[in-house]
Every structure is written in C-alpha cells, then in structure tokens.
C-alpha cells in the first residue's frame, strides 16, 4: 500500500502537458489537483531569481545564451512556450517572486537551487520569508554547497539532497549535513533501500521518473514522494485506479 501521505510533485509543473517551469505548467498542476510543484532556480545577470531548468535559454525559449549573462528584462522578453506548442506561445520565464505571489497558499513548493552561484540559496530564503511561505517550502539541490550555505542562514527551511548515486558515502554525507530528506534517482529506489533510509531517519523522495512503470515501482517500494511530469497518472495510481 502506498503511503496515504505520498508526495505527488509536479516536476517543473505538469510538464508533460504544458511548457516546463512556466505559469502554464503550474496552472495545469493546479487544474489536475496537485498539491506539490517542483521548479528550478538561477540568477539573472542583474541578480534576479528566475525559474528555468537549464544553464542556458536555448532549449526552452526562442533565445540563446547563458541565463547568468542575460538581464531580467532580456529573459522576460523571451518566449518560453512556443518550443512546446504554439498553443503556449508567449509564455514567459517566471521570476521566483512572481511564482510565490501567484501560487502562495495553493501549493507546497519544492524549490531546486540549480544555479551554482554563491548566494542563490540565501536570496531564495529571503524571498520565501518575505512571502511568508516558509511552511510550504522544501529546498533541494544536487549541489551540497548550496545546501550547506543555506543551513546556518535559514535553519527553518527543510533541505533535501538530490543524489545521482546513492551509496554509503552519499548517505554518510547527508547525515553529516544534518539532512532528513534524501532524493535518490528512481532507478535506485527499492523496498530494501527505502527501508534502510527510513531506518536512518530519512524521508525518501525520488526523481528521474520517465515513465509509468518506474513510477509504480517507486510507489510500491514505499518511497515517500516523487517528482513526475504527469501528476494525474501518479494520482490515479495512488488512488488504485
């Protein structure tokens, strides 16, 4: 039986159905009744925090270049929807502030610190505090430095480490960092692994689910949550449909 509290997290929004990391994909997650969204953050050249996955704008907009080399005005002028479908032409790259303003009280926010620029996790915490959403936020990163930078600055914010390889050394490092949330790739999530991590006091949140078979395996393994591009399908599985 899956946990009744399994976190069904819309990955970059409901990104199977609308362009990732845009209001369209987060609105779609809302429409599907999803309680959790995940998204990725970078700094713009002029120090604003923007919601985009890649280091460059090339894949998901009509522009080109590194996010960190473009100003907020330049980033906001790009079309972040047409690459996905003409239906979404004109969608913009959101700012973190705009996202928190729009969806405050409507989601739990799983915020991934993607850019490695020092200060990004702390400036994110400033905005989270400013919008009064600290109880609806989990901060994650593949970069342990970003999580370590955040810990003394915003100890009230839950942190989770996204690990590409789950092994004794990454588990020990997570314990050293004082983490209680570990996010392994879904391929590594088995009932034995989940039991072991639960025994060590971790919540287990999987990432990297490309299809429904892996989604079902993660749920059946007893994990506590997962990011998926199709939260409606995960919801149906959790409800036994």
Residues annotated as catalytic are 11, 53
Instruction: Classify each residue of 204-219 as buried b or exposed e, where b means 16 or more C-beta atoms within 10 Å of its C-beta.
Output: bbbbbbeeeebbebbb
CB of 199 to Ca ion, least distance (A): 27
**Strands 49-51, 36-43: parallel, antiparallel or unpaired by DSSP?**
antiparallel
229 binds ligand G3P (CB under 6 A): no
Verify binding: residue 143, Ca ion, rule CB under 5 A: no
Instruction: For the segment 55-114, give every residue that binds Ca ion (CB under 5 A).
Output: 112
Q: Which does 227 bind (CB under 5 to 8 A by kind): ligand G3P, Ca ion, none?
A: ligand G3P
Binding to ligand G3P in span 27-86, by CB under 6 A: 38, 40, 53
Q: How many CA atoms lie within 13 A of 135 on its CB side?
A: 3
| Smallest separation, CB 73 to ligand G3P (Å) | 26
- Spatial neighbors of 137 by CB under 8 A, at least 6 apart, are 108, 109, 111, 128, 157, 158
Among 207, 214, 215, 229, interactor with ligand G3P by CB under 6 A: 207
Quick one: 97 exposed, middle or buried, by C-beta within 10 A (0-12, 13-18, 19+)?
A: middle
Q: Are 35 and 8 in contact (CB under 8 A)?
A: yes
Near ligand G3P by CB under 6 A: residue from 23, 112, 146, 171: 112
Q: For ligand G3P, give the closer residue by CB, 90 or 179.
A: 179
Complex with ligand G3P: residue 160 or 222, whichever CB lies closer = 160
Residue 112 or 149: which CB sits closer to Ca ion?
A: 112
In angstroms, the CA 72 to CA 59 distance is: 18
Residues that bind ligand G3P (CB under 6 A): 11, 38, 40, 53, 112, 162, 207, 227
């Amino acid at each position: 039986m899956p946990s009744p509290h399994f976190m069904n997290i819309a990955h970059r929004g409901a990104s199977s159905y609308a362009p990732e990391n845009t209001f369209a994909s987060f609105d779609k997650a809302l429409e599907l009744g999803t309680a959790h969204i995940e998204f990725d953050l970078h700094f713009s050249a002029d120090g604003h925090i923007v919601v985009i996955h890649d280091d460059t704008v090339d894949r998901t907009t009509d522009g080109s270049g590194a996010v960190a080399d473009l100003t907020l005005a330049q980033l906001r002028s790009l079309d972040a929807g047409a690459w996905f479908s003409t239906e979404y032409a004109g969608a913009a790259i959101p700012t973190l502030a705009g996202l928190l303003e729009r969806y405050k009280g409507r989601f739990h926010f799983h915020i991934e610190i993607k850019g490695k620029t020092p200060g990004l996790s702390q400036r994110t915490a400033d905005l989270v505090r400013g919008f009064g959403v600290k109880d609806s936020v989990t901060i994650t990163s593949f970069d342990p430095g970003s999580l370590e930078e955040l810990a003394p600055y915003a100890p009230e914010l839950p942190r989770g480490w996204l690990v590409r390889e789950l092994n004794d050394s990454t588990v020990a490092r997570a314990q050293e960092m004082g983490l209680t949330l570990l996010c392994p790739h879904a391929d590594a999530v088995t009932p034995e692994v989940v039991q072991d991590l639960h025994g060590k006091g971790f919540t287990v949140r999987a990432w990297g689910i490309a299809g429904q078979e892996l989604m079902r395996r993660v749920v059946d393994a007893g994990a506590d949550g997962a990011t998926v591009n199709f939260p409606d399908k995960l919801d149906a599985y959790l409800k036994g449909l």
